[in-house]
């Protein structure tokens, strides 16, 4: 296997609590992504998936901050890099697309201006050359008559078009890594399908590595090579998408897959995961899923299982299935 | 109220300082006869214009009246106008804001445009103009005769009401659209029940914050009206009229005459402002103090 | 058997569009949210209404419960026009049709305890003061929550628990018809199943007529016997749920079905050498 593009090792993110102590939301996360690979990070709200990515981009603001671990991008530790270096990397080498296309665009500037600003921040090109690049990026994300749309304002675009424009902005400088944080959650289902297809297409055509964050396992499974499942601030399972979907070993992964109904098969009561995800600062000492796990034994509640690698898969569970 | 516990701890020293100032001045005004060493209106020609000393801590004025005692009694006029006007303004403004937000349509437009109209002219200009027109004498209102002080409280209260109306309207407009209000409507709850039971309680925090800050403005307005001679009438003391009387003293060297009433106004205004900021912190769920409590 | 318990007759709702200036000059157009929709709901029906934003499904819900007035057309509750019933705002008809809302954080008054929220509702139904507390506890139990929830405030509950309280509040009125507007779309997937199972069980046990509004076809398939597909304010297809989903006749229904994430079965590039790839189908229909 080639050297990873991004390697996250023992990443921890904490919040400063009202009483002055630290509450950990990301509690030692490990995963790596190879150049050109597409990885899905799946977890529910509070699993720490978005916080981990903000930590990678060094976009955490108070009261949250990275409290430990390393984030190696091409061998360089981003957590130790200075702000100037991060500004150079963000947008040029690593780009991010967020959940809400509405609030990610500046309503007062044209789409074209916002894309050319990003291009000119990272590349020494003339204004007209930047506009040409912007038009090309819009064309690539499937906005028809792109050159004529550069003068449009965000409110003139539909939600799906805005998300396309944001993706255009993200890929305009040909980054090596694109982080998409729930990019389709705010969109209608038919538009969601188009955006997912678009990301898969860009990845294939441009060779960009993609991290796709979602709460929906079925959705990411359509386009990624590998899935990382997070729960309670920890990685609980990591493996090739077919293994995760068909031969998951962690009880949480299995339940997560079966509690979402499909359009085929018999109709009946859904498989429910009882209880609720652990709340921040009230993590059980052992496996975070143990209070809800039907397989749990005493050890599960008492001691956190380590994330053990086995071939191309990793698993943190005392009672794998 | 244990849910304020962690937030109370997070209030910094400026908030406590504000609370302490406000509490001290309130107590001094309420127990003025016990606090003031002299009668604030008693003339004493032999003591006139004496500089601060052991007998008269803050000196005496041209008529030999004790400045400290006059400031203590003057606090009553200031706080009465500040607090009284805020209560009247809140009552009128909150009702108007709630009505506009809940009623919607034409009623909303009419109420809010009236509010805009009143708010378009600066408070102080309104206050002085209207008192000037009405004069300083008691105002007959049906069977009642309103003394000048009450008149001023009501007037300033009316002038405060647009501020409260806007604050309430802005929050209430959002609350009216909340699903829990729709749910109450679907249960057949009366409009009164919905407005007082569900909408009003969720609008109160910004109103209370606004109220604390407006008390300070009310005190300044009272001082200004009295300064131009339209407010509290002599010989009753008021911070504004004391300042006005002290105008000549600035040139003749009796510095204590303008300085101490001026300080009283400044300290009280700062006290209410600090308290207002602390109350804002306490109520605002987005403020840093509360972020991690939930 | 009598007529439909809830009927919509040529229901239309439109809103003025464009700036105030245009409207003043009579130049403004109108946005039609619901366009001449007629529908009969029989007692005991469990109907799923699916569509995307702008399909008019939420407008339909608010017209059906009387939260908004139709521009034209009529809602009939057991044959009686809602417009006439609504003259008596707090009439006995009120309790018969209740609603569960989408956003669990806005559905409950943040300053009222769960217990107060329920007892207040019971008071409006006319339950005597002394009996309210016991019935509130019983309602909490009905939706799978313990009595220890009663003194808590909404922010102390999880999203799933709040949504159960919202359901308990609707049931406190002893409704005949329950309208659930995207009741689980704000919840995490692991909690969605809990609420859907609860809704399914209660509908059966209490003999409720349910209108389940959702964008999630798979959830509708699990819960409903009948499906109505809406687009741009109109019903484009309706029928028995499984029939429509297996043999959709309208192209929009087919597009919705193709947009449901299908995991590795929906891949266009193989997940592993032994997995077949899916035919590219849906991008062509981009709209």
* A78 and A206 belong to one structural domain: yes
Residues of chain B above pLDDT 90, percent? 38
Question: CATH number of the domain that A83 lies in?
Answer: 3.40.50.300
Chains with at least 3 CB pairs less than 8 angstroms from chain C:
A, B
* A110 and A85 belong to one structural domain: no
Residues of chain A above pLDDT 70, percent? 99
Would you report the helix, strand and coil content of chain A in percent, each value rounded to 5?
A: 35, 25, 40
Q: What is the pTM of this model?
A: 0.83
Chains with at least 3 CB pairs less than 8 angstroms from chain B:
A, C
In a domain, A299, yes or no: no
Contacts A–B by Cβ distance under 8 A: 16
* A184 and A236 belong to one structural domain: yes
Read off the pLDDT of residues C53-106 as tens digits, 9 standing for 90 and up. Answer: 889 999 999 999 999 999 999 999 999 999 999 988 888 899 999 999 988 889
Beta carbons of A288 and A30 less than 8 angstroms apart: no
Q: C226 to chain B nearest CA, in Å?
A: 26
* A87 and A194 belong to one structural domain: yes
* A155 and A8 belong to one structural domain: no
Number of Cβ atoms within 10 Å of the Cβ of C212: 29
Distance, CA of A105 to CA of A301 (rounded, Å): 45
Query: At which residue do the structure tokens 């309420």 appear?
Result: B30
| Residue-level pLDDT at A52 | 92
In a domain, A232, yes or no: yes
Closest residue to C261, CB basis, from A188, A218, A274: A218
Beta carbons of B249 and B257 less than 8 angstroms apart: yes
| Residue-level pLDDT at C26 | 66
| Residue-level pLDDT at C35 | 92
Within 125-144 of A, beta carbons closer than 8 Å to C belong to 142
Q: DSSP class of residue C33? A: E
Question: What residues of B are in contact with residue A18 (Cβ under 8 Å)?
Answer: 6, 9-10, 289-293
The reply to whether residue C110 touches residue B202, judged by beta carbons under 8 angstroms, is: yes
Which residues is A9 bridged to in the sheet?
A70
Question: What residues of B are in contact with residue C108 (Cβ under 8 Å)?
Answer: 180
Q: If you write DSSP's letter for every residue of B229-260 in order, what string do you get?
A: TSSSPTTS--HHHHHHHTTTHHHHT-THHHHH
| C189 reaches A (C-beta below 8 A) | yes
Q: C147 to chain B nearest CA, in Å?
A: 21
Taking CA–CA distances from A64, the nearest residue in chain B reads B292
Q: DSSP class of residue C49? A: E
| Chain B contact residues (CB < 8 Å to C) | 3, 178-180, 182-183, 185-190, 197-198, 201-202, 294
Contacts A–C by Cβ distance under 8 A: 132
Number of Cβ atoms within 10 Å of the Cβ of B201: 14
Question: What residues of C are in contact with residue A215 (Cβ under 8 Å)?
Answer: 188-189
| Residue-level pLDDT at A6 | 92
- Could you say which of A174, A190, A220 is where a domain stops? A174
Distance, CA of B222 to CA of B148 (rounded, Å): 12
Q: Which CATH superfamily is domain C6-286 in?
A: P-loop containing nucleotide triphosphate hydrolases (3.40.50.300)
Distance, CA of A220 to CA of A184 (rounded, Å): 11
* A195 and A220 belong to one structural domain: yes
Distance, CA of A309 to CA of B11 (rounded, Å): 49
Question: What residues of A are in contact with residue B293 (Cβ under 8 Å)?
Answer: 18
| C102 reaches B (C-beta below 8 A) | yes
Which residues is A211 bridged to in the sheet?
A39, A179
- Could you say which of A118, A139, A174 is where a domain stops? A174
In a domain, A75, yes or no: yes
Distance, CA of C109 to CA of C159 (rounded, Å): 14
Question: What residues of C are in contact with residue B197 (Cβ under 8 Å)?
Answer: 120
In a domain, A203, yes or no: yes
| Residue-level pLDDT at C22 | 67
What's the mean pLDDT in A118-145? 87
* A190 and A277 belong to one structural domain: yes
Global ipTM: 0.86
Phi-psi region of A266 (alpha: psi -120 to 50; beta: other; left: phi over 0): beta
| Residue-level pLDDT at A13 | 92
User: Which parts of chain C sit beneath pLDDT 70?
Assistant: 1, 18-28, 268-287
| Residue-level pLDDT at A306 | 87
Residue A110: domain span: 106-174
Q: B54 to chain A nearest CA, in Å?
A: 48
Question: What residues of A are in contact with residue B288 (Cβ under 8 Å)?
Answer: 63
* Total count of domains within chain A: 2
| Residue-level pLDDT at B238 | 87
Residues of chain A above pLDDT 90, percent? 24
The reply to whether residue C256 touches residue A190, judged by beta carbons under 8 angstroms, is: yes
The reply to whether residue C106 touches residue B198, judged by beta carbons under 8 angstroms, is: no
* A11 and A120 belong to one structural domain: no
| Residue-level pLDDT at A265 | 79
In a domain, A5, yes or no: yes
| A18 reaches B (C-beta below 8 A) | yes
| C67 reaches B (C-beta below 8 A) | yes
| Residue-level pLDDT at C214 | 92
| C219 reaches A (C-beta below 8 A) | yes
| Residue-level pLDDT at C280 | 43
CA distances from A1 to A35, A36, A312 (A): 11, 13, 10
For residue A169, pLDDT beyond 70: yes
The reply to whether residue C91 touches residue B188, judged by beta carbons under 8 angstroms, is: yes
Tell how strand C46-50 and strand C209-214 pair up: parallel
What three-state secondary structure class fits C154?
A: helix
Distance, CA of C187 to CA of C160 (rounded, Å): 6
Closest residue to C103, CB basis, from B179, B187, B190: B179
Within 5-24 of B, beta carbons closer than 8 Å to A belong to 6, 9-10
* A183 and A39 belong to one structural domain: yes
Read off the pLDDT of residues B90-132 as tens digits, 9 standing for 90 and up. Answer: 999 999 999 999 998 899 999 999 999 988 888 888 888 888 8
The reply to whether residue B189 touches residue C66, judged by beta carbons under 8 angstroms, is: no
| C190 reaches A (C-beta below 8 A) | yes
- Could you say which of A124, A150, A174 is where a domain stops? A174
Q: For residue A43, what are its two tokens?
A: 């977890």
Within 53-92 of C, beta carbons closer than 8 Å to A belong to 53
What three-state secondary structure class fits A263?
A: coil
| Residue-level pLDDT at C28 | 66
Exposure b/e, C214-228, CB count within 10 A at least 16 = b: bbbbbbbbbbbebbb
User: Which parts of chain B sit beneath pLDDT 70?
Assistant: 1-10, 284-294
Element (H, E) at A237: strand A234-240
Closest CA to B41 of B85, B84, B76: B76
Closest residue to C52, CB basis, from A189, A255, A279: A189
Question: What residues of B are in contact with residue C107 (Cβ under 8 Å)?
Answer: 179-180, 183
CA distances from A299 to A10, A172, A305, A315, C76 (A): 23, 50, 9, 16, 60
* A63 and A210 belong to one structural domain: yes
What's the mean pLDDT in A211-235? 92
For residue A224, pLDDT beyond 80: yes
Within 44-73 of A, beta carbons closer than 8 Å to C belong to 44-45
Q: B7 to chain C nearest CA, in Å?
A: 16
Domain boundaries, chain C: 6-286
Q: A219 to chain C nearest CA, in Å?
A: 5
| Residue-level pLDDT at C122 | 95
When the pLDDT of each residue in chain A is averaged and rounded to a whole number, the result is 88
* A69 and A152 belong to one structural domain: no
């Amino acid at each position: 296997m080639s050297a990873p593009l991004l390697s996250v090792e023992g990443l921890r993110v904490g919040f400063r609590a009202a009483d002055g102590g630290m509450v950990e939301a990301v509690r030692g996360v490990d995963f790596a992504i190879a150049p050109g690979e597409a990885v899905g990070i799946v977890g529910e709200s509070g699993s720490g998936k978005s916080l981990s990515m903000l930590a990678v981009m060094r976009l955490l603001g108070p009261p949250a901050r990275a409290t430990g671990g390393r984030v190696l991008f091409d061998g360089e530790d981003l957590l130790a890099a200075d702000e100037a270096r991060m500004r150079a990397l963000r947008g040029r080498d690593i780009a991010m697309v967020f959940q809400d296309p509405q609030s990610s665009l500046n309503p007062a500037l044209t789409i074209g201006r916002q894309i050319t600003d990003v291009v000119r921040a990272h590349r020494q090109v003339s204004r007209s050359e930047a506009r040409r690049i912007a038009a090309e990026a819009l064309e690539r994300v499937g906005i028809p008559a792109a050159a004529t749309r550069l003068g449009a304002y965000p409110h003139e675009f539909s939600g799906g078009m805005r998300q396309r424009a944001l993706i255009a902005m993200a890929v305009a400088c040909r980054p090596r890594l694109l982080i998409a944080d729930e990019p389709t959650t705010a969109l209608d289902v038919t538009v969601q399908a188009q955006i997912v297809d678009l990301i898969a297409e860009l990845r294939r055509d441009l060779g960009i590595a993609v991290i796709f964050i979602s709460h929906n396992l079925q959705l990411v499974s359509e386009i990624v090579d590998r899935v990382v499942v997070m729960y309670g601030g920890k990685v609980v399972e990591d493996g090739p998408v077919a293994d995760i979907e068909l031969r998951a070993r962690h009880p949480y992964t299995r339940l997560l897959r079966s509690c979402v109904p499909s359009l085929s098969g018999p109709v009946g009561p859904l498989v429910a995961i009882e209880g609720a995800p652990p709340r921040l600062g009230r993590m059980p000492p052992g496996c975070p899923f143990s209070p809800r796990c039907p397989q749990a034994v005493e050890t599960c509640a008492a001691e956190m299982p380590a994330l053990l690698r086995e071939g191309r898969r990793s698993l943190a569970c005392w009672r794998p299935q | 109220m244990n849910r304020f516990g962690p937030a109370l701890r997070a209030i910094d020293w400026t908030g406590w300082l504000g609370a302490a100032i406000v509490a001290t001045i309130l107590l001094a005004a309420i127990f003025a006869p016990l606090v003031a060493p002299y009668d604030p209106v008693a003339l004493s020609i032999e003591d006139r214009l004496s500089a601060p000393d052991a007998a008269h801590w803050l000196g005496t004025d041209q008529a030999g009246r004790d400045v400290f005692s006059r400031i203590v009694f003057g606090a009553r006029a200031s706080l009465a106008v500040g607090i009284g006007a805020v209560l009247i303004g809140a009552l009128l403004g909150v009702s108007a804001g709630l009505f506009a937000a809940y009623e919607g349509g034409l009623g909303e437009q009419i109420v809010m445009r009236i509010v805009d109209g009143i708010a378009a002219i600066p408070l102080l200009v309104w206050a002085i103009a209207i008192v000037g027109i009405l004069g300083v004498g008691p105002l007959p209102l049906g069977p009642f005769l309103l003394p000048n002080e009450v008149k001023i409280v009501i007037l300033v209260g009316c002038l405060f009401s647009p501020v409260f109306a806007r604050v309430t309207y802005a929050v209430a407009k959002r609350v009216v659209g909340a699903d829990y209000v729709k749910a109450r409507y679907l249960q057949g709850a009366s409009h009164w029940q919905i407005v007082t039971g569900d909408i009003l309680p969720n609008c109160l925090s910004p109103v209370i914050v606004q109220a604390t800050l407006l008390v300070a403005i009310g005190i300044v307005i009272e001082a200004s009206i009295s300064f131009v001679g339209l407010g509290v009438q002599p010989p009753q003391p008021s911070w504004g009229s004391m300042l006005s009387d002290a105008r000549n003293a600035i040139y003749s060297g009796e510095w204590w005459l303008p300085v101490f009433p001026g300080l009283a106004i400044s300290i009280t205004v700062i006290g209410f402002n600090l308290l207002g900021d602390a109350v804002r912190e306490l109520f605002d769920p987005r403020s840093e103090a509360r972020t991690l409590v939930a | 058997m009598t007529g439909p318990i809830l009927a919509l007759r040529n229901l239309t709702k439109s809103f003025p569009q464009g700036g105030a200036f245009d409207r003043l000059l009579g130049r403004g157009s109108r946005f039609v949210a619901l366009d001449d929709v007629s529908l009969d709901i029989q007692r005991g029906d469990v109907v799923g209404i699916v569509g995307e934003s702008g399909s008019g499904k939420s407008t339909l819900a608010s017209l059906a419960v009387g939260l908004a007035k139709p521009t034209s057309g009529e809602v009939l509750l057991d044959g009686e026009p809602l417009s006439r019933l609504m003259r008596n705002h707090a009439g006995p008809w009120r309790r018969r049709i209740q609603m569960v809302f989408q956003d669990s954080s806005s559905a409950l008054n943040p300053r009222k305890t769960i217990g107060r929220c329920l007892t207040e509702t019971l008071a409006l139904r006319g339950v005597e003061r002394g009996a309210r507390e016991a019935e509130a506890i019983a309602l909490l139990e009905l939706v799978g929550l313990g009595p220890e929830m009663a003194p808590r405030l909404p922010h102390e509950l999880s999203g799933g628990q709040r949504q159960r309280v919202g359901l308990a509040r609707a049931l406190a009125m002893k409704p005949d018809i329950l309208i659930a507007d995207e009741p689980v779309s704000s919840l995490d997937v692991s909690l969605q199943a809990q609420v859907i199972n609860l809704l399914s069980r209660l509908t059966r046990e209490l003999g409720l007529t349910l209108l389940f509004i959702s964008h999630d076809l798979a959830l509708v398939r699990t819960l409903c016997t009948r499906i109505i597909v809406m687009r741009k304010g109109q019903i484009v297809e309706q029928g028995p749920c499984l029939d429509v989903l297996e043999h959709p006749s309208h192209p929009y229904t087919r597009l919705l079905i193709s947009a449901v994430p299908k995991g590795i079965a929906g891949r266009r590039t193989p997940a592993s050498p032994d997995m077949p790839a899916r035919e590219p189908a849906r991008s062509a229909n981009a709209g």
